[in-house]
Amino acid sequence: MALMKTNSNTALTPVHWFSHGSTMMLGEESESATYWKKCGDEALANGIKGVIIMGAHWASVNDKIHVATNPHPAKSPVAYVHPSKYADYQLNPDLPTANRCIELLRQEGFDAEGDAQFDWIHDTYLVLIRMFPHGCPPTTIVGMNARYDPHYHVKVGATLRPLRKEGYLLIGSGGAVHNLYRNKWEPMLRYRDNFAQESPPEAWALEFRQAVEDNVTQNAGPRLRRAIARLMKHPQYRDAHATDDHFMSGLFVAGAVGDKEDEGTYGKLYAETWELTNMCNSQFSFGSFVKSAA
């Protein structure tokens, strides 16, 4: 029996795919940081129930996927940022929702379990501090699987997508162009200037950045899922991502906002910050709180 479409009267929260960039994105002001704050303000104004975020720094081996269940997580230190910008920020782990995510993932066949020892890393709390400087909403961190299979991570996003109907804000925190081996580090190491652009970004970085924007903004629904997965076969993908970890959150996002019900919801590029010459921190959002689905 065909399922009835429910989007005519069910509000779906927006989904964000953020590029968190270097640690200095926490300490220095940027267009991206301003946009993160705006997204946080909107989320609070619309009474989100919590945040569910996949970062880029936590992956499990073999078939496992972990969800953070540490009730009192510490923060991994952030290089090049004064501790006053993060040390006292209170993290707010949402254990009931973490357990729900584990259940939902298990029901879909994932080998999911909680990790009660996991300490949070800047890939997630950098964005949370920027979005919610006055207090972290209840937050669930979903890890990655270290095989970095795009379809696996799409399915993780698709599995948790129904939580958008309950008022959860789903976020992927990774990078559009993020190859630490190809960044130009000298201005940051010598002058703490992560935004120095002594030369333009190199051609491979510009090319892949454009491919990401085109694919995110020109595809919706299941086509979005295929498009983001296909980007991993782009000729410049391996130049732009020496490792796959910062691209997986894009697949998670594509799963979370790539259902048939999401057709017509296109990603938009709202802010962008280049760092270290070749790292492109593009900030995409899909849908909005105010849009009532047709």
Using the minimum distance from each CB to Fe ion, give the nearer residue, 58 or 168.
58
Q: Does 272 bind Fe ion (CB under 5 A)?
A: no
Q: How far is the CB of 57 from Fe ion (least distance, A)?
A: 6
Among 28, 94, 115, 123, binds Fe ion (CB under 5 A): 123
> Which phi and psi (to 5°) does residue 158 adopt?
-65, -35
Segment near Fe ion (CB under 5 A), from 55-63, 128-136, 220-228, 234-242? 55-63
Q: How many residues interact with Fe ion (rule CB under 5 A)? A: 2
Rounded to 5 degrees, φ, ψ at 172 are -110, 130
For residue 244, state whether it binds Fe ion (rule: CB under 5 A).
no
CB–CB of 124/55 below 8 Å? yes
We find the least distance from the C-beta atom of residue 226 to Fe ion, in angstroms, to be 26
For Fe ion, which is the closer residue by CB, 184 or 241?
241
At CB < 8 A and 24+ separation, what contacts does 42-49 make?
A: 42/288, 42/289, 43/131, 43/132, 43/137, 43/169, 43/289, 44/132, 44/137, 45/289, 46/13, 46/289, 47/167, 48/13, 48/137, 48/167, 48/168, 48/169, 49/97, 49/138, 49/166, 49/167, 49/168
The residues in 8-37 that bind Fe ion, with binding defined as CB under 5 A, are: none
Candidates 41-49, 60-68, 119-127, 235-243: pick the segment binding Fe ion (CB under 5 A).
Answer: 119-127
> Which residues inside 134-193 make contact with Fe ion, applying CB under 5 A?
none
Distance in Å, CB of 75 to Fe ion, minimum: 14
Q: What residue spans of the chain are helical by DSSP H? A: 24-27, 31-45, 95-107, 122-131, 150-160, 186-191, 203-218, 222-230, 237-240, 248-256
The Cα–Cα gap between 264 and 287 comes to 9
Which residues, at least 6 apart from 29, have a Cβ–Cβ distance to it below 8 Å?
A: none
> How near is the Cβ of 187 to Fe ion at its closest, in Å?
19
Q: Between 183 and 219, whose beta carbon lies closer to Fe ion?
A: 183
User: Smaller CB distance to Fe ion: residue 174 or 201?
Assistant: 174
Which residue, 115 or 245, is less far from Fe ion as judged by CB? 245
Minimal distance, residue 20 CB to Fe ion, in Å: 6
Rule CB under 5 A: which residues touch Fe ion?
56, 123
